[in-house]
Amino acid sequence: MQLRSHHGPSASQLLVAGLALANSGFAIPVEDSPRQYLLAGLDLPKKYSEKSKSPYTPGFRDPYDRAVDAVGDKLDPLPYRNGLGTSVLGPWNRERSRQSPDLVRPPSTDHGNLQNMRWSFADSHIRIEEGGWTRQTTVRELGTSVELAAVNMRLDKGVIRELHWHKEAEWAFVLDGQVRVTAIDYEGGNFIDDLKRGDLWYFPSGVPHSLQGLGENGTEFLLIFDDGNFSEESTFILSDWLAHTPKSVIAKNFNLAPEVFAHLPEKEKYIFQGSQPGSIDDEKPTGKNVKKSKQNFVHRMLDQEPHLTSGGEVRITDSKNFPISKTVAAAHVKIQSGAIREMHWHPNADEWNFFLAGRARVTIFASEGTARTFDYVPGDVGIVPRNMGHFVENIGDEPIEMLEVFRADEFRDFSLFQWMGETPKKMVVDHLFQDDPENGEIFWNKVKNAEKDEVTLPDSDNEAESEQREL
């Protein structure tokens, strides 16, 4: 009996045969990428070795560590940088590497050990309920999220997040749809309002409230809690409390017969389908001792007039224009393609970022020669610890929309550009250009007016001139 060999063709033989068949007109799937050529031991085709085509090749050089949009350009990041590095032979998650190209090939300026500052809500466990779902990012998911925790929640039309309260204060941004909020304040005054995309609410610690999806598609929102150790499972919920209280006590509390409470829920309802509410006027309580709250628990953030910059726009909401929000301040920022959220730092709180749109890279400077670069896509959470210098660079072809959130009563930041302009010229030049007075003069003439431009769009001529010098 003749045995057949179990040894098949090599990877290089398969790739060569596949490419040959593809070039001959046969429609077969072939993975044509730099990594596959290198795995097969083949020379890279010209399209991958040319500088203008892919930065992830042995011969590519970039002394300025420019950003690469691996997602937009559909590139396969590999650990090559300015003549260093080599290919990857083991398992490889292409989509993950595309989303984090600066982890695969960090800028040459990165150095030292810095904790992870990125998490994607796509990696958070989803709790699925009747007509809704919820997922969270806390210090358990992202170890550096020590000051704030977040919950992403979806409620369909008429679906209720049941009456509850928390130890922590709750700040929220409506991501889409419409939602009705109800609450009572510390003096027992009731509050009801309907919110849309870009609106906020803030409930101080212990304030009981409820949320309900409105409109045809309900709502989705981002909840922020002023403690990174928060857990959505630790909420004080009405039905859960009554399910664990003797019915004789409940009857005494409400001065009714125990039989009235015979069919109370046996456990928490949490998220459930409710009846369709009418207008606020139709639904508001009208009892003899009912009173309206003097507090305003909501704010229309995106209705604010934006502060326009050369490369985008900024809206800031803190206790100055949303007085009840004593423990959470926030900025809504748009960064145009090619622009950056200028180099800066925050002295009073960690920065907790949520990316709504666009693709970004962020380098965090942590002192002691330590810096690390992270990349972010929609649905990602980023952390920048207080006082650590950083920027946010738009590396894609669409605007970045992001939230900067802080456990603080006021938004505060220091601008590197402004600092330079507010410092004596000789001091600045001696620090940065002591051996290069000609460029020191160019730098000083740029910063001397101390203009703070939170989102900066660089002159395209500067980039073109830099690239021409390299050629």
Residue 68, pLDDT above cutoff 70:
yes
Beta bridge partners of 136: 151
Q: What is the pLDDT of residues 342-396, one digit of tens each?
A: 999 999 999 999 999 999 999 999 999 999 999 999 999 999 999 999 999 999 9
pLDDT of residue 48 exceeding 70: no
d(CA 53, CA 32): 14
User: Minimal CA–CA distance to 165: which of 205, 199, 202, 195?
Assistant: 205
- Please answer whether residues 363 and 107 qualify as being in contact, where contact means their C-beta atoms are separated by less than 8 angstroms: yes
- Give the model confidence (pLDDT) of 317-346 as tens digits: 999 999 999 999 999 999 999 999 999 999
Residues with a known catalytic role: 404
Rounded average pLDDT over 69-96: 95
Residue 32: pLDDT band (50, 70, 90) is low
Between the two ends of the chain, the Cα-to-Cα distance in Å is 66
CB atoms within 10 A of CB 470: 10
Q: Which amino acid, residue 448?
A: K
**What confidence score (pLDDT) does residue 42 get?**
73
Query: Residue type at 202?
Result: Y
- The pLDDT of residue 5 is 42
Sorted by sequence, the CB contacts under 8 Å of residue 150 that are 6+ apart come out as 136, 137, 138, 222, 223, 224, 225, 352, 354, 381
pLDDT digits (tens, 9 = 90+) for 216-250: 999 999 999 999 999 999 999 999 999 999 999 99
Residue type, 176: D
Rounded to an integer, the average pLDDT of 117-125 is: 98
- Mark out the alpha helices in 190-259 (DSSP H runs): 238-243, 247-254
Angstrom distance (rounded) from CA 464 to CA 471? 11
CA distances from 106 to 79, 89, 116 (A): 8, 19, 14
> Please, what sign has the CA dihedral across residues 190, 178, 195, 148?
positive
Token duo for residue 236: 């004080």
The answer to whether the beta carbons of residues 351 and 469 sit under 8 Å apart is: no
Q: How far apart are CA 309 and CA 312, in angstroms?
A: 5
Average pLDDT of the residues of the chain: 91
